[in-house]
Chain A
Amino acid sequence: MLTVFLQFLFSGLTVGAVYALVGIGFNIIYNATSIINLAQGEFVVIGGLLMWFFTESLKLPFLLSAVLTILSAGLIGLFMERLTINPLKSTDLLLMIMITIAVSIVLRGILMFNFGKDPYVYPPFTEGEPLSIYGAIIQQQTLWVIGITGLCIILLFLFFKKTIVGKAMLACAVNPTAAKLVGINVSRMVMLSFILSAIVGAIGGMAITPISLMEYDKGPMLAVKGFCAAIMGGLGSNRGAVIGGFIIGILESMTAGYIHSGLKDAVALVILLLILFFKPAGIFVSKTMLQLRKF
């Protein structure tokens, strides 16, 4: 019994870690701009497919490939902001969110033309047998995914709380006009947030591809689940997105395990709705914070 329970739990953790990373990506842009970037799932796909391109197609060493993937993803984030969000000079959030949808469609098209419709995979970061804990197995790559998620959270926490740039980004979200008045270059901060969130998404994609494979149209599903994670934890709270991601992942897995696998998506969404009924701002955001939100 314990073995089976642990196996469900590990499966949930594997899936949840992915949701969490996507959720964090949403938060970074949301925190700096109040925009919900619906192309976040495509950043994850870009990470996985580019990593495949550098390691398997160009046969570059692992670390170099990782660095190149991160740099390319950052560049794509930069171009996305400079070419679509920045020229708009609009403050209509809904319009900007629509633009992110358009970008996601364009990115998906480009990926399809360059990589085709087949799934891709490359070997896990460390080769070897899966670990066995009380008879339940956990793949080494899952530990990498969870570890990388943890590292991202810590680094982002330090960035937003301890560095001037991070604090400046937060200030832009709260009040762009005031931020401008105290001398913060708001436009540059917005750009930075897109770069950062593209990088976080791409890192997630790099880590999960050996487990789940990657194909050009995986983005929307990842975006929906990651968005649910962010909403459950409370938009803007990274700690919330991580816990939300793991809750959804584990709930899906437990539903599949103890009730029926056909119901797993439905149950996870019902729980999300229930949480939002009783705590509309999400688990980690207070009501007062909610009132300060623009979106």
Chain B
Amino acid sequence: MKKARKNLLVAFVVVLSVFILFVNAYAKEPYKIGALFAVTGAASFLGEPEKNTAIMLQEQINKAGGINGHPLEIIIEDTKSDETQAVLSVKKLLERDKVLVIIGPSTTGESMALVPIMNNAKTPLISCAAGAPITKPVKERYWIFKTPQYDLSAVEAIYTYMKKKGINKVGIITISTGFGDAGRKALHEMAPKFGITIVADEKYGPKDSDMTTQLTKIKASGAQAVINWSVGPGQVIVTKNWNALKMGIPLYQSHGWGSKKNIELAGKAAEGVIAPLGRLVVWDKLTDKHPQKALLKKYTQDYEAKYKSSPGTFGGHAYDSIMMIAEALKKVGPDKKKIRDYIETKIQKWPGTGGIFNISSGDHCGLDKDAFEMVVVKNGDWEILK
């Protein structure tokens, strides 16, 4: 009996002290941010690192005392890579959780589905998907921003480099998914501006196991280079086929190539593959003076220490979104309109993982081809091309 009372007393003291601790640390009410990520489903390779990044940043920010003393609360919803689910989840975040800002979703399709809802709700959204229509035309995207680079910028980076190398005729091979189609469109759109002719235009499915046929056609078309636009196993198989065929022309990949895993999977076949990559994957090759270096180093090392895997470009998109919002909240407080205005006007020469952002009323992404470095695979590692 006595012992029980003593236990009760101890428990009471513990509860009380925890309570006091919390009251002290979180005297102010939390700032709520909603996050929509494709944690499961077809686009889970995007949503997974984004979710991890959000959880990690929330911890870091709150450990450092929150935002002006307010703890940051990121409410994460899984969209299951599905547009309908994204719409349902965003309504829950807006109506039930009353969030100030939305981060995500992970894919272009989901983001597009949310555009009208965000405009009605007058709530800012920072998408983690790349498609140009998410933020264009800007007039109809008053509340919408995005952090990933445009596909067009990646194409520009490739074409600029090709012109330097004297390449005028290219064969393109794209995967038949949203990512591949967007890339294919961008490749066609930009080609005339650079005086480049697309002499072969091939496709393959996301689960195809051999692309030798398409590459053989490209070789026969007289192309001076191959550009593959895909994410997932397809880009590794194309690399292996390209190597086996000894095509004698260089292989360029999209910015989807930026994962060490691809080099591991393709092995020796990956040697010489060129791609425009965000600086996140090559941060250790940057000079110390580069404005992105310090934050890339910290983010990558923190992430690797916590999750035992690399964040990849995609985790970085969530990082940029959250940091922009955290900064805006710190400066203007919990006001949706002011947060929007802050992001539109004050994110200037702002180093993030995706590049150096210059958001303006004419461009709600703020990145151009300078966000990319042309990177070649050499001895199983990346090497930045000058």
Query: Given A119-B232, A119-B265, A137-B244, A261–B212 Cβ distance below 8 Å?
Result: no
User: Which one of B45, B246, B265 contacts A121 once the chains associate, using CB atoms below 8 Å?
Assistant: B265
Q: Is the CB of B213 within 8 A of A256?
A: yes
Segment 1-36 of A: residues with Cβ below 8 Å from B: 4, 7-8, 10-12, 14-15, 18
Q: How large is the interface on B (under 10, 10 to 19, 20 to 34, 35 or more residues)?
A: 20 to 34
Task: Report the Cα distance A15→B209, complex, angstroms.
Answer: 7
CB distance from A226 to the nearest CB of B (A): 13
Query: Given known contacts A4-B220, A261-B203, is B214 in contact with A14 (CB within 8 Å)?
Result: no
Question: With A4-B220, A117-B44 as given contacts, are A212 and B261 in contact (CB-CB < 8 Å)?
Answer: no
Instruction: Assess the A7–B207 pair: CB atoms within 8 A.
Output: no
Q: Contact at B233–A261, with CB atoms within 8 Å?
A: no
Q: Scan B36-65; emit 1 where CB is below 8 A from any A CB, else 0.
A: 000000001100100000000000000000
**Contact between chains at A257 and B237 (CB < 8 Å):** no
| B217: interface (CB < 8 Å) | yes
Within 8 A of A (CB), among B235-279: 236-237, 240, 244-246, 261, 265, 267
Residue of B nearest to A254 (CB): B213
User: A214 CB to closest chain B CB, in angstroms?
Assistant: 9
- Bound-state CA distance A7–B220 (Å) is 11
Contact flag A7-B176 (CB < 8 Å), given A130-B244, A139-B244, A261-B203: no
Residues of B within 8 A of A42 (CB): none
A208 interfacial by beta-carbon distance below 8 Å: yes
Interface check B210, CB cutoff 8 A: yes
- CB B74 to nearest CB in A, in angstroms, measures 23
* CB of B205 within 8 Å of the partner chain: yes
Which chain A residues lie closer than 8 Å to B237 at the CB level? 212-213
User: Are the CB atoms of A208 and B212 closer together than 8 Å?
Assistant: no
Give B343 Cβ to nearest chain A Cβ, in Å.
32
B203–A208 CB distance below 8 A = no
Interface 0/1 of B216-241, CB less than 8 Å to A = 11001000000000001100110010
Asked if A15 contacts B210 (CB within 8 A), the reply is yes
Q: With A137-B244, A213-B236, A262-B203 as known contacts, state yes or no: A256 contacts B214, CB within 8 Å.
A: yes
A14 partner residues in chain B, CB cutoff 8 A: 209-210, 212
- Of all chain A residues, which has the CB nearest B220? A4
For B175-213 the 0/1 string (1 means CB < 8 A from A) is: 010000000000000000000000000111101011011
Tell me the dominant secondary structure on chain A's binding face: helix
**Is the beta-carbon distance between B212 and A11 smaller than 8 angstroms?**
yes
Q: For residue B212, which residues in chain A have a CB less than 8 angstroms away from its CB?
A: 7, 10-11, 14, 137
Instruction: With both chains docked as a complex, state the minimum distance between the C-beta of B302 and any C-beta of chain A, in angstroms.
Output: 21
CA distance A118 to B48 in the complex (A): 12
A213 contacts which chain B residues (CB < 8 A)? 209, 233, 236-237, 265
A215 CB–B CB distance under 8 Å: yes
Cβ of B45 and Cβ of A261 under 8 Å apart?
A: no
**Cβ of A18: which chain B residues have Cβ within 8 Å of it?**
209
Q: CA of A262 to CA of B210 in the docked complex: distance in angstroms?
A: 14
Residues of A within 8 A of B265 (CB): 119-121, 213
Q: Which of A10, A208, A211, A261 contacts B204 (CB 8 A)?
A: A261
Residues from chain A with Cβ under 8 Å of B205 in the complex: 221, 265
Instruction: Decide if B207 touches A257 in the complex (CB within 8 Å).
Output: no
| Partner pick for A119 among B220, B233, B245, B246, CB 8 A cutoff | B233
A130 — which chain B residues lie within 8 A by C-beta? 244
Interface assignment of A69: CB less than 8 Å from any CB of chain B:
no
B residues in contact with A15, CB < 8 Å:
209-210
Given contacts A261-B203, A265-B205, contact A121 B213 (CB under 8 A): no
Question: Would you give 21 A-B contacts (Cβ < 8 Å), ordered by A?
Answer: A10-B212, A11-B210, A11-B213, A14-B212, A15-B210, A117-B44, A119-B265, A120-B265, A123-B267, A212-B237, A213-B233, A213-B237, A213-B265, A256-B217, A257-B213, A257-B217, A260-B203, A261-B173, A261-B203, A261-B214, A261-B217
Known interface pairs A213-B209, A213-B236; 4 further A-B residue pairs with C-beta atoms within 8 A, sorted by A's residue number: A119-B236, A213-B265, A261-B202, A262-B176
For the complex of A and B, 4 pairs with smallest distance between CB atoms: A212-B209, A221-B207, A119-B233, A11-B212
